[in-house]
Each structure stands twice: as structure tokens, then as C-alpha cells.
Amino acid sequence: LLGAESFVNGVASCLSHLQDAGLSNVRIHFGDARDLLEVLPPAAIDRAFLLYPDPWPKARHIKRRFVNPEGMDLLARTLKPGARFHLATDIADYAEHSIALMDRRRDFARLDHPVDAPWPGWIRTRYEAKAIREGRRPHYLIWTKR
């Protein structure tokens, strides 16, 4: 299992949880996931999760979102055919932006999954709990790589 996190506190917390659980099959990249995707071989990933990404809410910052043409090109290159891409966000604009962008792509197909229902095997994150506490509705989206 490969993970990417660009905040040092997130990496430290993850490493602590991994050690407490005795897991040794996880590797964490301290940095942007795009950097990791650039060096992975084509069709190397079975499944990808983007959980509560930075929404970059200002219009001038939208290009920094992971779900943009460049980020999705990198992900498409590294996902195996039939692999799934899961996105969870509590920002309605990010969900709408992602659906609009992904609907234009020919290399992904959105699964018919209820947007307001977590996917099977979902484990609640603290970001999800915070969003619900603050009255924001989580969105759960899934695409398949064609």
C-alpha cells in the first residue's frame, strides 16, 4: 500500500498508527502524490483513493486541485485497466468540479454509486467526522479506469 501526504503532522500520525497496528506493508511518500505518480510505471496501481483533498476554493487556485487534467492524466497512466479511483470530499464544489471534469474524460467511467453513501469497506476519517459535525455533507464518488 502506497500513501502520499504533504503535511508532516499527517505523516507522523500515519506512521504512529502503522506502528501501533504492526503493519509493515505500507509505504508513505512525504510530498505531493503527483510526484509519486510521475515515477511509478504505467498500469502499476490497482486502486486509488483521494480522501478529503485540499479544495483550493478560490477560483485562481482551482488549477492546484488534484482533480484537474494534469493530475488525472498522471493517475490514468498509472492505473491498471479496470482499476477504481475513489474520491471522498465534503466540499460540494469539489465534487461538482470532479464530476464535470471526469465526465469529459474517455479513459474513466463513473460507477453508479449513491453520492451520499460511503463505498463498501469505508473507514471514517477524522476529516469526515469534522465535516459532519460542522454540517457539511460528504460526497463519495467512484470511477473505473477504462
Q: State the Cα–Cα distance between residues 85 and 65, nearest whole angstrom.
A: 16
Beta bridge partners of 121: none
**Strand 27-30 relative to strand 79-89: parallel, antiparallel, unpaired?**
unpaired
- Residues forming the active site: 54
Cα dihedral sign, 126-51-137-61:
positive
